[in-house]
Amino acid sequence: SWEILESMIKYSEDFYQSLGIPYRTVKIVSGELNNAAAKKYDMEGWFPGDKEGKGQYRELVSCSNCTSYQSRAMNIKFGFKPTDPYCHMLNSTLCATERFLCCLVENYQEDGGIRVPRALVPFMLGQEFLPFVKAPRKEEKPKGKK
């Protein structure tokens, strides 16, 4: 299961590399793991804009090996005999849709619209740019007493 965990995080890295999304992979320290996970990686994507005008990394992918913790609770084994071993369970969020789309938009936004990453152009019927339908709203100053 340890080799599978490494391949799962590699697939996630390949996915974000193919889209040109800047990211970093973080191995979670044991003191921060929940009871289920024996080892966990987070991949954080770069979000270039925020209210302060500084970018930051935010979690896009979480990938963990829970070994037999979950399978023991659900009695999932390799076979039907009481002596059969419990299987190891792993999980990974390759693409949390909302977070991923926010990251994609922030990284590819240009004046007038969103540039489509090269890897996605074939799935967009060749469209390379998505223009804004309306101009972005201007920030209004709060109205208050004078």
pTM: 0.81
Q: How far apart, in Å, are the Cα atoms of 145 and each of 48, 138, 140?
A: 35, 21, 15
Architecture of domain 2-110: 2-Layer Sandwich (3.30)
For the chain, what is the largest distance between any 2 Cα atoms, rounded to a whole number of angstroms? 79
Cα 92 to Cα 36: distance, rounded to the nearest angstrom: 14
Q: How far apart, in Å, are the Cα atoms of 127 and each of 51, 119, 136?
A: 30, 12, 21
Render pLDDT for 5-58 as a digit per residue (tens, 0 to 9).
999 999 999 999 999 999 999 999 998 999 899 999 999 999 998 667 789 999
| Strand order across the 109-110 sheet | 109-110, 113-115, 129-131
